[in-house]
Amino acid sequence: MPQMSPLNWLLLFIYFIMILILISIINYYITIYNPTLFLKNKFSQKSLYWKW
């Protein structure tokens, strides 16, 4: 691809690794991370899990 000729493969690899790390951090804060503010409201905590 002539449009991507200034970028070498090392920069592309670092770029995609950084995107993967950012997606992992966002996924952690969406699913696993439970701050203390949401622990008081039981409805928001139970709505994350399926009922079965």
Distance between CA 28 and CA 13 in Å, rounded?
Answer: 23
CA dist 24 and 21 (Å) reads 5
pTM over cut 0.85? no
For the beta carbon of residue 52, count every other beta carbon within 10 angstroms.
Answer: 3
Q: What is the pLDDT of residues 7-52, one digit of tens each?
A: 788 888 999 999 999 999 998 888 877 665 555 555 555 555 555 5
